[in-house]
Amino acid sequence: MSRPAPRRRAAGYTLLEVMVAFALLAVGLGILLGILAGGVRQVRDAQATSEAALYAESLLDGERALGALEPGVRRGEWAEGRYRWTLSVEDYVDPLAGDAGPVVSASPARLRHLVLEVHWGEGGPRERLRLSTLHAGIDPGALAPPAMLDPDGGR
């Protein structure tokens, strides 16, 4: 007696295997898309922070170039309102002097503490920049006008 020939299994994948493969592919692509979106957001945040830092340094350089800064608070904006800034200027108080108050001397030189705060977007923690510096300037009212020099040397 002869045996029946064994059935050959059809080559290929079952429907279940194909569905599992597509599910894994979809999950992998979803994760990859999330990573790319996060990277784009970080690049955009870094660009905004760099731009704010450039504007801030430019403003501080301009203020220092003007010379003596009067104590007070000034506000403004750059880039059509995209960046908002507040500059606070006050007499420098030495932290080691305790409650002695601002540093005062007989010289016309004055030391000022400048604090520049820049906000953009909604002003969240990642959308803020704070710069603090000291500026040594000469109080123009404390200087006497220079004496006219005699071209003959006083003879």
Q: What is the pTM of this model?
A: 0.62
Q: Is residue 45 part of a domain?
A: yes
Inside any domain, residue 29:
yes
pLDDT digits (tens, 9 = 90+) for 59-102: 888 887 776 578 889 999 988 888 999 999 998 877 776 666 55
Residue 49 lies in a domain: yes
Domain count, the chain: 1
The residues near 117 (Cβ < 8 Å, ≥ 6 apart) are: 85, 86, 88, 128, 129, 130, 131
**pLDDT tens-digit map of 110-154:** 788 899 999 998 877 788 999 998 888 776 565 555 555 555 555
Residue 4 lies in a domain: no
What is the CA angle 121-33-126, rounded to 5? 25
* Residue given tokens 């194909």 in the structure block: 18
